[in-house]
């Protein structure tokens, strides 16, 4: 039979192991390598920033190794194929939208609305109508209303 340990024996063992602390060590992140005192025995990095940077590097390295395998190459090829298809589809939608927005009106559209040249000869023969004549047509004559102060306004040909 084995000897039975009492509760007082366990407490003595716990107190003895509590006092031990890990010694100072260097941060394992390249470029940092500062000395720090770890709070836990297996701590490798001095701060959260170093821990996050190491994690980021580790993920990048794992991705690099995975893409070097045959399965990783196949996955990447399929991903690129889907992306090219998506970009091509997006370009087609943009071109369709651009075609709808930019409606071109040809010069033939206005031909029906234009007057023949023989009719326009009579329009050019009429005297030019000034802007003041149109604006001040109903205003009575007084100082400062016409082009010449105090002169009568000319009647517009209608």
- Which pair of structure tokens corresponds to residue 36? 């720090």
Give the CB-side neighbour count of residue 37, counting CA atoms within 13 A. 2
Structure tokens at 83: 């992306």
Question: d(Cα 28, Cα 46) in Å, to the nearest integer?
Answer: 8
Q: Which residues does residue 26 pair with via DSSP β-bridges, in sequence order?
A: 35
Give the tokens for residue 134: 């149109």
Per-residue pLDDT in tens (0 to 9) along the chain, 158 residues: 555 666 666 666 656 555 567 789 999 999 998 999 998 888 999 999 999 999 999 999 999 999 999 999 999 999 999 999 999 999 888 877 765 656 666 767 666 667 667 766 665 555 677 777 767 677 666 666 555 555 555 555 55
pTM of the model: 0.42
């Amino acid at each position: 039979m084995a000897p039975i340990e009492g509760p007082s024996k366990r407490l003595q063992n716990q107190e003895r192991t509590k006092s031990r602390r890990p010694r100072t060590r260097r941060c394992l992140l390249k470029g940092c390598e500062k000395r720090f005192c770890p709070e836990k025995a297996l701590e490798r990095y001095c701060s959260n920033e170093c821990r996050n940077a190491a994690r980021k590097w580790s993920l990048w390295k794992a991705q690099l190794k995975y893409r070097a395998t045959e399965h990783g190459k196949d996955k990447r090829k399929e991903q690129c194929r889907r992306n090219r298809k998506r970009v091509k589809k997006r370009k087609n939608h943009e071109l369709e939208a651009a075609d709808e927005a930019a409606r071109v009106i040809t010069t033939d559209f206005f031909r029906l609305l234009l007057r023949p040249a023989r009719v326009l000869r009579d329009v050019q023969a009429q005297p030019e109508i000034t802007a003041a004549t149109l604006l001040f047509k109903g205003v009575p004559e007084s100082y400062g209303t016409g082009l010449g102060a105090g002169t009568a306004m000319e009647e517009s040909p209608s």
